[in-house]
Amino acid sequence: MCGIAGFCGELPVPAQARVILERMIHTLHHRGPDGYGFHVGSGIGLAHARLSIIDLVSGEQPIHNERQNVWTVFNGEIFNYVELRANLEQQGHRFYTRSDTEVIVHLYEQYGDAFVEHLNGQFAIALWDDERRRLLLTRDRAGIRPLFYTRATGNLWFGSEIKSLLAVLPQYATLDPLGLVQTFSYWGPVDPNTLFKGIHSLPPGHILAISDDGSETLTRYWDWNFPSLSEPASASRAYASVEDATVELRALLIDAVRLQLRADVPVGAYLSGGLDSSGIVALIRSFTETPVRTFSVAFDDAEFDESEHQAAMVRYLGTDHTTLHCSRRDIGEAFPQLIRHTETPILRTAAAPLMLLSRRVREEGYKVVLTGEGADEVFGGYDIFKEAKIRRFWAQQPTSTFRPKLLGRLYGYLDHSPVASEALAQAFFKRGLEHIDRPIFAHAPRWITSQRAVAFLSDELRASVGNWDPLTWYEKRLPADIMSWSPLSRDQYVEAKTLLAAYLLPAQGDRVAMANSVEGRFPYLDHRLIEFAARLPPSWKIRGLTEKYLLRRALAGLLPDEILKRTKQPYRAPDSQSFFFDGEPLDYVADLMGGARIRAAGYFNAAMVGRLFDKCRHNRAIGFADNQAFVGILSTMLLDESFLRRSGA
């Protein structure tokens, strides 16, 4: 696990290449504190910051092949490297390290650009073919590891984080209005967009090839893919019975966990008290010899705290466990550091406690943790999926008063539930009911609610994006055949491409763990599991209103009933309440949200922000929309403070 950076092309002063690479990679010290590595050649510069996990002695990067004409720097892990290496050695390849990185250069020699299809892992890779004068950049299928790039001074520049690019290209420290309105709608900028003009994020499951003449070719090598409803059941379903599917799913889960435990350092796991993370820990305990150390977050607020369920799992599994108690003040004080690592505004504070937890993990001597991220997207776990199922049932009879009552079975974990009042629930969830024949049907109410934050933007910034509609804009990016899929499949695809890829994996995954030099691993996002689940009938994912039905079956006997049957409770943290104490804001909040500072930045309407600030200050912001707007505005101002005003400092 590491950070990578570099450039492709000839520099005006070639002798400065090493100095430039050092400037870029030193900004990523938190991703790789165990050492730096460099390769400079004609037309290429590669840099690497190492977090030693596999082959602690000889695994330094950049890595090359036998003839030293293929070089790579790599961020992440190749979990099936043992099997790949054995196969490559049988075909005559010779290795000089024990690292997983070295399989990349030999796979490329063997299979060309198709090498990436053989990888089971989470990765961002830069590979230089010296003979063909060609650079390849690629990311893993789900988008777990980040990779950014831009063109400047006639060269292509890339890095694991945007700050590595700004270190040598400060002129790119300019906010992109489209990235901001996307964040305020989808919870994150949609690849390839970022919050910085001219800087792009390489989309998950893609390869970008840069040829010697400077031309670029972007190729998708993998995507979430679901069967058409018109396919015969025998063709679209992977298994004839739910019993057969359960057996196969457990076998896949065991193997995914086994592979992701590979490391030459101790491995820990997060334990939230829910089905997903508890399932990972139970699989480790039941099917491997690996000692497991578990970690969790507890909150003072009962609405967010899951420590009772965490304690039950610790007792049941007998793990050596550490709990981090996180207060509202802890969240508020850590928030500026969080935004320096996310490099993008966020609409919720939930990432801050995870960043603090990763710090505790590192303090306890661990560099690797397994987590339950991805299970909800893969197996249909979120309330949005059940909510959409009810709304589709309702849309068949829009005047029905009985059908929308089913919404009352959702959101029981919220103090201010959107279904607490039947009238308010019907008013909220009826929004977008007319979109039933559109692929974004499930997400329309959420995006419309989130986009209320767009109303706080200044007239100038809103004018710069024109009459932008989040529903229509996103639909144009969807697969042409998406309406041939089941409704649940459509909902899962959009969720995977927006919330998961744009917010959860970057802000609550890679960035908060790597802020403290910790690698997060996500067994549920093994591409074999994603492909397996995609071909399951929807009723094997959501049975009635029971989410993750098949996953629960696969984990039966490994978990206590109270966890196995527990309804999904999303991980959350206090939002606007984390920035005010006895009616007074934290000092930096008062400064950044003050009228003068808001007007100077020019992104927001100062009068509207002032009214929202007062509402939050007096603890009257209890709805999602107000909290998301406040956190989004504050985090944008922190981004401005950390990067835009100070040119990447």
Helix ranges, 92-199 (H): 102-111, 162-166, 177-186
Strand-pairing partners, residue 532, are none
CA distances from 578 to 340, 513, 626, 634 (A): 18, 21, 14, 12
CA 232 to chain centre: 34
Q: Round to whole Å and give the CA distance between 574 and 590.
A: 19
- Residues with Cβ within 8 Å of 13's Cβ and at least 6 positions away in sequence, in order, are none
Q: Round to whole Å and give the CA distance between 283 and 290.
A: 10
Q: Does 2 participate in catalysis according to the annotation?
A: yes
Radius of gyration of the chain (CA): 24
The residue to which tokens 């019907």 are assigned: 426
Q: Round to whole Å and give the CA distance between 445 and 448.
A: 5
φ/ψ (deg, to 5) at 137: -120, 135
444 neighbors 431 (Cβ within 8 angstroms): yes
Terminal C-alpha separation, the chain: 24
Instruction: Classify each residue of 411-441 as buried b or exposed e, where b means 16 or more C-beta atoms within 10 Å of its C-beta.
Output: beebeeebbeeeeebbebbeebbebbebbbb
324 DSSP 8-state letter: E
CA angle (607, 612, 617) in 5-degree steps: 125
| From 2, 8, 326, 616, the catalytic residue | 2
Q: Round to whole Å and give the CA distance between 4 and 50.
A: 9
> Cβ atoms within 10 A of the Cβ of 480, count?
6
225 neighbors 534 (Cβ within 8 angstroms): yes
- Residues with Cβ within 8 Å of 491's Cβ and at least 6 positions away in sequence, in order, are 384, 385, 388, 441, 442, 443
**475, amino acid identity:** E
209 neighbors 192 (Cβ within 8 angstroms): no
CA angle (507, 510, 513) in 5-degree steps: 100
**80, amino acid identity:** N
CA angle (383, 349, 141) in 5-degree steps: 60
Q: Which pair of tokens denotes residue 423? A: 């009238």
- Residues with Cβ within 8 Å of 590's Cβ and at least 6 positions away in sequence, in order, are none
φ/ψ (deg, to 5) at 298: -125, 145
Three-state SS string over 462-486 comes to HHHHCCCCHHHHHHCCCCCCHHHCC
List residues with catalytic annotation: 2
